Structure 1
Amino acid sequence: MAETFDCAVPDSRVAGLAAAARAVRAGRLVVLPTDTVYGIGCDAFSTSGVAALLAAKRRGPDMPVPVLVGSWTTIDGLVGRVPQEARDLIEAFWPGPLSVVLPHAASLSWDLGRTKGTVMLRMPLHPVALELLRDVGPMAVSSANVSGQPPAADAANAREQLGDLVDVYLDGGPSGEPVASTIVDLTADVPRLLRTGDVSAEQVAEVIGREVAPA
């Protein structure tokens, strides 16, 4: 039976984060608030967890699951090489609504879907999400909804859609307007904008010092 924890209440927040950490380490699913929309997540290195996440969303592996991290330095262990443009964007916009796509480290054993050797990384600007990520490490996280339905803007809506497929729901209150993160692909010679969100193409170009190709 899924449990919901009100993170506005200090004791409930502590208990919820502990329960979520146990679930993640066991390869199970949790729902957590982020600075964009609510996310459904698991240990990024749990093959069974990612499979359960995709099944809960009723989605196939053709849309790989992004990875959330709790610190800037975490990415150094996840990608083969971090280009200076990526570091500049991370310094400017993390934590926040900017995702970067980079080649993942060849040594990593994970299965996030059909990634073609890449990984999408983001550090969310939400205290509950950051506390959990700093405890358990990188998490595979997608929007907390069934594919084709609107992303959940609160824990109750996430639970309506996902029910007992998720072990723990961390209720951090309404997420506000469901604005997606901007996605910048840095896997080729020319940076490419895959999606425009809260961070504009002009802001990205200003930080890296050159134009960004449209999707």
Structure 2
Amino acid sequence: MQSKLLNADQTGAIEEAARLLKSGHLIAFPTDTLYGVGADILNAQAIQQLYVAKGRSLKKGIPVLLSDIGKLEDIVRQTPDFALSLAQKFWPGPLTLILPKQDHIPGIISPDDNVAVRVPDNDVARKFIRAAGGMVVTSSANRSGEPPALNAQEALAALGDSIAAVLDGGRVVLGVASTIVDCTISPPRILREGPLSTEDLSLVKVKET
């Protein structure tokens, strides 16, 4: 299949991208941080193809992007108060939280009992994710170890042979991978500092249980 370049501003483009994704194909799309490449969370074969397309080790796992904070309960087993406080403060935004996943979530998404989740601050991304069911397994739209894609053309050049379409929403705003916080431990631990710094996160008031 030749990769399609879908203009996100055109009527039906987002819906077509979601239809292709739910049919088992990989789709590249913009987020607030970088262009991502996504697979249907219910399709283990498509998720496997995502690992192969990126040249990514199965030991690393792949995050899941959500359409809104309400989808947390569909994927996460429990959300500690400090994690919920961070999500309420910084979602939508460049913050990825690692939380314990529900049993029905495919094991291929991560090698352990946890899952990395985020709600991107990008209208095109959230509309696409919502049209695809509210959750899309997503990694950066580049081969592992190579520079990330900041626009649709770069995503197409990096993964064109592996994806069915690129949803073109223009150049990304931030151009830096998200901050990652492990919320499976207390206190939570920053695994990667991105657009949100340690100082930004420390300003959040966490309710004591």
Q: TM-score w.r.t. structure 1 length?
A: 0.90
Please tell me whether residue 24 in structure 1 is matched to residue 21 in structure 2: yes
Task: Say how many residue pairs are matched.
Answer: 205
- Is the contact between residue 45 and residue 111 of structure 1 (CA under 8 Å) also seen in structure 2? no
2:192 is aligned to 195
Higher mean displacement: 19-28 or 104-113: 104-113
TM-superposed CA distance for 1:110, in Å, is 4.5
- Taking the aligned partners of 2:104 and 2:61, their CA distance within structure 1 comes to 18
Paired residue type of 1:84: D
Secondary structure in 2 matching 1:56: helix
Please tell me whether residue 3 in structure 1 is matched to residue 4 in structure 2: yes
1:206 is aligned to 203
1:213 is aligned to none
Please tell me whether residue 148 in structure 1 is matched to residue 149 in structure 2: no
Match of 1:127 among 123, 133, 151: 123
2:56 is aligned to 59
Please tell me whether residue 36 in structure 1 is matched to residue 37 in structure 2: no
User: What is the identity percentage for the equivalent residue pairs of Structure 1 and Structure 2?
Assistant: 36
Deviations 1:96-117 (A, max 9, x none): 0001000101233452142x10
2:79 is aligned to 82
Structure 2: segments with no counterpart, 5+ residues: none
Structure 1: segments with no counterpart, 5+ residues: 211-215
Match of 1:105 among 77, 102, 107: 102
- Taking the aligned partners of 1:176 and 1:86, their CA distance within structure 2 comes to 25
- Taking the aligned partners of 1:103 and 1:17, their CA distance within structure 2 comes to 30
- Taking the aligned partners of 1:44 and 1:107, their CA distance within structure 2 comes to 11
- Taking the aligned partners of 1:182 and 1:166, their CA distance within structure 2 comes to 26
> Structure 1 residues 120, 44: closer, same or farther in 2, change over 3 A?
same
TM-superposed CA distance for 1:191, in Å, is 0.7
